[in-house]
Amino acid sequence: MKKTGSQILLECLHLEGVDTVFGYPGGTVINIYNDLVDSPIRHILNRHEQAAVHAADGYARATGKVGVAIATSGPGATNTITGIATAYMDSIPMVIITGQVPTPLIGNDAFQEADIIGITRPVTKHNYLVKDVKDLARILKQAFYIARTGRPGPVLVDLPKDVQMASTRFVYPDTVDLRGYKPSFSGNVRQVENGVKMILASKKPVIYVGGGATLSDASPELLAFAEAIQAPVTTTLMGMASFPKRHPLSLEMLGMHGTYYANMAVTESDLLIAVGARFDDRVTGKISTFAPHAKIIHIDIDPTSIKKNVRVDLPIVGELRDVLQTMVKKLVEHDDEVRELVERTAPWRAEIAGWKKKYPMSYKQTGAVIKPQFVIEKIRELTNDDAIITTEVGQHQMWTAQFFDFSQPRTFLTSGGLGTMGFGLPAALGAQVAFPDRQVIDISGDGSFQMNSQELATLVQYRLPVKIAILNNNFLGMVRQWQELFFDRRYSQTCMELPIDFVKLAEAYGATGLRATTPEEVEGVIRQALETPGPVIMEFKVAREENVMPMVPAGAGLNEMVLAS
């Protein structure tokens, strides 16, 4: 039976298990949208293509499935770039479908033509321009395979209008065989054995966990591994929630705004076991002083990530769950040596416990001004353990990482690699679509929120009960903090003086708006928001010049952090 290109597209999505797509229609995808009417796939109409991609991204992060977004050609396609780059930097599995002008017009400066293949090449794992409808099913099968295997990432499929309208016999391939793309799933056995030997010989081991642990759903294996060797565990921003923050072995976050004890532990360690992490500059600080005494084992499914930023003594390429399971099995074979290791490293854990006691994460909630950390702690206290928290980017993002005790994987969705303001609200939207009965909360700054605030309309239209906590200091807070600390308080263009009435903004969209101006009002506002059906904005008037501390100044080593401003 013959099908048109747009029908084949939707049939392929259905066969890949896609039940929801996010998007925005236009002339070059109008055939797809026409066939969507007869498809079982649900479509969420966002108010901006960037937000549609972020929503698909949030859906993917929360579920582990491949997120899908659709945009038209030209400006619709180029509006997706920030969302695609955000997903690429954080290795999120996604397939983005863009419309394209008819193939005879490509290269002729046709109306709404843009070379989206060329534009997205640096920010996609792979991309395709489909020129023949006979290739469409095969390409889509490959697109989903590439997006979800190996190191996940976004794949773009550019679909000209005439290909959507053309017909062919539909056959969906059963398998994918791509020359040059063969992800390694099992770690090399000899390398794993060498890693176990290094662990058993260590005196001050630290496990350093990145976003790969969440992406590969390796939290149970990570917990078993850490407990087997009783090694302290620190995470990147993207690795948070993959290891319970309240676990006795948890050191919490490492890096620029990490804890004192995490940064000192890595600096003093003699063995760093990196698990699905990429050693970005916000984590390492000054490279020459990063873990200066440590041998480094780097476990990652992507061989190109290994030795990219730091020296590595032992690379292990493979899927994290497989490698960690194998390591634990090997450790069991060395039961006596493991016991000796745990006894030998007891002073190391005691030293770290001393750091934790002497330099805990803290702030002072005094007077009548609301501290943003206090709001975040209250949200944590009043929400369920499986609440999904998204953030925008800035000070509120770091305070959330510091003061929200995440205990379950896939409950903290944030833009780590690209640091995309405007990510949190549409990502929360995507997560709420995936889990309509769970608490989903976007913690935001007033600046970030305004970058995609139009998605309030989408929340209201689809009755998605996302709660939005705006920590309003009328500043672009993180830039202001840097201007205070490193530019002699010359606040250039960071003060957002226009007093937006976020309560009225919520009401204008048909949502509920609440406001707290004193510490005493914070808990009541949060409770009322959680009990209110539908989307709610909670505006908290917080201390204007509160800083995120501790902080490692740019170019400094992790052990040179500033504890207070």
Q: Report the distance separating Cα 383 and Cα 527, nearest Å.
A: 9
Please report the DSSP string for 536-564 in residue order.
EEEEEEB-TT----SB--TT--GGG-B--
Q: How many other CB atoms are found less than 10 A from the CB of residue 563?
A: 10
- Geometric angle at alpha carbon 180, from 176 and 184, rounded to 5°: 80
User: Is residue 96 helix, strand or coil?
Assistant: strand
Here the tokens at position 512 are 């509920």
User: Annotated catalytic residue: which of 161, 204, 371, 467?
Assistant: 161
User: Annotated catalytic residue: which of 256, 478, 538, 561?
Assistant: 478
520 is catalytic: no
Long-range contacts of 458-463 (CB under 8 A, 24+ apart): 458/44, 458/45, 458/46, 458/47, 458/51, 458/55, 458/426, 458/429, 459/429, 459/432, 459/509, 459/511, 459/534, 459/535, 460/509, 460/510, 460/511, 460/534, 460/535, 461/45, 462/44, 462/433, 463/534
Q: Are strands 233-235 and 250-253 parallel, antiparallel or unpaired?
A: parallel
User: In DSSP terms, which residues pair with 296 in a beta bridge?
Assistant: 272
- Report how far apart, in Å, the C-alpha atoms of 392 and of each of 274, 413, 414, 457, 469 are: 27, 9, 7, 18, 11
DSSP code of residue 47: S
Q: Report the distance separating Cα 423 and Cα 35, nearest Å.
A: 30
112 is catalytic: yes
Q: Report the distance separating Cα 66 and Cα 155, nearest Å.
A: 10
User: Annotated catalytic residue: which of 11, 49, 221, 377?
Assistant: 49
Task: Calculate the CA 58 to chain-centre distance.
Answer: 8
- Report how far apart, in Å, the C-alpha atoms of 385 and of each of 90, 221, 407, 440, 469 are: 24, 20, 7, 11, 18
100 is catalytic: no
Closest CA to 205 of 291, 316, 310: 291
User: Annotated catalytic residue: which of 2, 111, 333, 343?
Assistant: 111
Q: In the block, which residue shows the tokens 């060395």?
A: 334
Here the tokens at position 441 are 């909360």
Rounded to a whole number of angstroms, the distance between the first and last alpha carbons of the chain is 70
- The full 3-state SS of 480-503, as one line of letters, equals HHHHHHHCCCCCCCCECCCCCCHH
* 118 CB-contact burial (10 Å; exposed 0-12 / middle 13-18 / buried 19+): exposed
Catalytic residues: 49, 111-112, 161, 478
